[in-house]
Amino acid sequence: MHWNWTLSEWPNFISRASELDSLERRFLLASGEVLGAVRHVGQGDRDRLQIELLSEEALRTSAIEGEILDRLSVQSSLRRHFGLAPDTYPEMPREQGVSAMMVDVYASFQAPLDHQTLFNWHHMLLAHDSGLEVVGGYRSHSNTMQIVSGSAGRPTVHFEAPPSARVPDEMKALVIWFNRT
């Protein structure tokens, strides 16, 4: 199988913006409606909405990686990070980490992306995980990284990542692209 990073056009893929026009218009219209509605609610409701939206994003982001987080713990941690009256619900390490990252993303979304920011987010998410060689940096091991499902005897490889030696250059290109767009 050919992985995206092995293709000759990597990472310069081409898309036709015209194919996304109708989706973009719908998104902008819905965004405007939401922004208009938010202007007419009180600060307490705005705070609750902010916590709800960020906790939903944190839960969905984590679910992509197979992590199922406790919603109330995420919300309690977000409330504490924003200086709101914290709940008495216990905050667990994974929930604290993803909440810290979401608050940082929320507070710094206009700042240019850099490697140190990515490392900081990685550390926030995984500081509690003692099984990792590197927390807050790019991987450097020689093992092949794959996304696999199925049984041990019949695995299905869904994706194979570039070798560790390529990661710093790939991430440099990503950061440049992100800041340019």
Q: Note the pLDDT tens digit of each residue in 82-117.
A: 999 877 888 899 999 999 999 999 999 999 999 999
Q: Which of 50-54, 58-62, 82-86, 135-139 has the lowest mean pLDDT?
A: 82-86
SS3 146: strand
Tokens of 143: 């093992």
How would you class 86 by CB atoms within 10 Å of its CB: exposed for 0-12, middle for 13-18, buried for 19 or more? Answer: middle
pLDDT at 86: 72
Number of H helices, E strands in the chain: 6, 2
Confidence of residue 3 (pLDDT cuts 50, 70, 90): very high
Is there a contact between 146 and 159 (Cβ–Cβ < 8 Å)?
A: yes
Chain position carrying tokens 């199922």: 68
Query: Region 60-64: what's the mean pLDDT?
Result: 93
61's enclosing H/E stretch is: helix 43-64
What are the distances in angstroms from CA 13 to CA 10, 39, 69, 124?
A: 6, 39, 34, 32
pLDDT at 109: 93
In degrees to the nearest 10, what's the CA dihedral of 53, 112, 139, 8?
Answer: 100
**Is the full-model pTM beyond 0.75?**
yes
Give the residue extent of every domain in the chain.
141-181
pLDDT at 91: 84
Mean pLDDT of the chain: 92
Chain position carrying tokens 């941690």: 77
Model confidence at 59: pLDDT above 90: yes
Q: Note the pLDDT tens digit of each residue in 121-165.
A: 999 999 888 788 888 999 999 999 999 999 989 999 999 999 999
52's enclosing H/E stretch is: helix 43-64
pLDDT at 165: 96
